[in-house]
Structure 1
Amino acid sequence: MRVYHYLPRPRVNGYACYPDSFGHYYDEPNHRENRSADQCPVWNLHLITKGKGYVIQGDRKTALGAGTGFLYYPHMPQRYEADPEDPWEFRWVHFEGAGISSLFNNADRDEVWLFSWKGTKRLPELLDELLAYGNDFVHEYERRISVLLYEIIVELIHESESLHAGRTSLLRQKMLQTADWIHANCRGTITLKDMAEISGYSEYYVSREFHRVMGVSPVEYLLECRIVQAKHLLASTDWTMKRISEWLGFSQSSYFIRKFRESQGITPDQFRKLGRDEYTIQK
């Protein structure tokens, strides 16, 4: 059984992502796809809930079953098929979106992404909700469909596990734990050596891997955390710049002011004044 839903182009431009089609396959022992790269201009996500099938890359054939899935990036050749003895059941969605590529900035675009979603029940629930919008589509559904698809993608990125990640998955978890530690301790004096000791890796290695996972270096992330704390203090206290900078671990107040301005485009004093002007207007 094959269920297809095709959507018209959205009336509003600028959605971070939007599906052009989605559906549901089951009881299809002869299901087989073999597409060239020029036939695949969109993202292609499959979430397997029952049965078994195979993703084929060159001469490598990977078996996938319930609780797993795969994602092809745009303009990739695609080859996959059901197991004829125990054909898979899956939800699928083809989608576009300029705002999606940045979420996968560390992905290997030459390989289909194979993953396990066993750690989250929300993915199939979200995809089922998306499928429901295809039954009686009206344009008023556009915003919800776009938001729902974005939620599916974010859930996929943060809660699924790459099937062949191995050490990569452990490294990612370590870097996220290091980021949480930096955020919790950003008010003190923290060095790259401290971050390396928390992560369990060398300074060079933690710098490289942290940047790969978080998109910024650990030192840049520390600064981001301190700027966030500074904004809170500027809005909620009358502390001087000197006191704020010392409390946050900056070596000098002039350095704090410069970094704040580079980050926010205005000085700390201007930020404080803007916050208080807004409060006065609302009051």
Structure 2
Amino acid sequence: METQEAGLKTVNNTYMESHRILRTPSALVRDALLYIQEIGEMVCKEPRQNWRNSLDSYLLILVKEGCGTITVGEETLAMQAGDVAFLDCHNPYSHCCDARDPWHILWVHCNGAAMPHLYDIFRQRNASFVMSGAAEWIEPVLQNLERIAMAEEPDYELYESECLTQLITLILTRKAEKTGHISGDTSQKWEQIHQYLEEHFAEKITLEELGKRFGISKYYMLRGFKRKYGVTIVQFLNQCRMNYAKNELRFTDKQIDTIAEECGIHDSSYFNRIFRTTEGISAGAYRRQWRN
């Protein structure tokens, strides 16, 4: 039996009981924000393999009760109550509940212009697409997202986007805190490196010297820093330098060459190239825009 009203679809059959809300985003939301494509809840009664391929979507599945498996490509991982999976549905995937302990799951299919970049950060920071024990902090946000979707109050798309942003932020940040793949001591070391770069960005810093200062290999440091912060050490250094440069351009009358030197960049053409890459305009144009 199937019923459908105002985007809410309920299905009761031999295999499952489920309800889902389908969404068609407005043009503004599709171009500028994160949005729901489908959100729902399912209680399985017996195993059923669901295969998908080449969906323009990103899927979050939370196991509320029971257990099952998720397969992405040739990798199959077991999931149990409290686990959460985050998948890029452009790639082939499937999921199936366990025959002896069928699962009860919550899910949301979502998308948006920023989602490919956000998912790349997720995979950089996580060796697996399954997060063990993550339901404790994801379920309340996911349930709130479903309530917003069901209510369809004025500006609901904006509230859905806000809630989705909170959900993705939790996935990207809380995972490392609770069940990350690096120890507490090593995590503290990344924070120390981060702070050191913020304070010494104007100095000449080589990766070899930085690794020696903090007692880790250059290549391990490069991988670990990017996994934690989503940018490379060189990219972060340039961010620090550009933040300083923008402040000086706006609030002082210093020459651009002088500001470049103070940033630790002794080649003014290289400074201008970095500035244009990050801001889209030259340092001189930035100064004129913000001081006018």
**TM bracket, shorter-chain basis:** 0.7 to 0.9
How far the C-alpha of 1:43 sits from its partner, in A, is 2.1
Q: Residue 281 of structure 1 corresponds to which residue in structure 2?
A: none
Aligned-pair CA distance for 1:86: 4.3
Shift of residue 223 of structure 1? 1.8
Q: Distance in 2 between matches of 1:70 and 1:104?
A: 12
Distance in 1 separating the partners of 2:291 and 2:72: 59
1:47 and 1:90 in contact (8 A); partners too? yes
8 Å CA contact 2:69, 2:97 repeated in 1: yes
Mapping of 1:1-283 within 5 angstroms?
1-12=17-28, 13-26=30-43, 28-30=44-46, 32-37=48-53, 40-56=55-71, 62-105=77-120, 107=123, 113-116=129-132, 118=134, 121=137, 123-137=138-152, 140-160=155-175, 166=181, 178-198=193-213, 200-207=215-222, 210=225, 217-241=232-256, 243-251=258-266, 256-257=271-272, 259-277=274-292
- Find the aligned partners of 1:19 and 1:124 in 2 and give their Cα distance: 16
> What is the CA–CA distance in structure 2 between the aligned matches of 1:171 and 1:261, rounded to whole Å?
35
Is the 1:186–1:226 contact (alpha carbons within 8 Å) kept by the matching residues of 2? yes
What is the identity, as a one-letter code, of the residue corresponding to 1:18? Y
Following TM superposition, by how much is the alpha carbon of 1:253 offset from its aligned partner in structure 2, in angstroms? 5.7
Residues 190-224 of structure 1, C-alpha deviation per residue, up to 9 Å, x if partnerless? 22223323554333554466567656542233122
Name the amino acid aligned to 1:63.
Answer: A
Q: Percent identity?
A: 26
Please give the per-residue CA displacement for 1:82-128, whole angstroms capped at 9, x wherever unaligned: 345544333201123342112222639xx97111354972x222211
Question: How far is the alpha carbon of 1:230 from its aligned partner?
Answer: 1.3
What RMSD, in angstroms, separates the aligned Cα atoms of the two structures? 4.0
TM-score by length of 1: 0.74
What code does the residue aligned with 2:34 have?
C
Q: Return 5+ residue gaps in structure 2 as ranges.
A: 1-16
| Greater Cα offset, 157-166 or 213-222 | 157-166
Deviates more, 1:136-145 or 1:228-237: 136-145
Residues 24-56 of structure 1, C-alpha deviations (whole Å, 9 max, x = no match): 234x34253321425x44322112234433335
Matched residue SS, 1:4 = strand
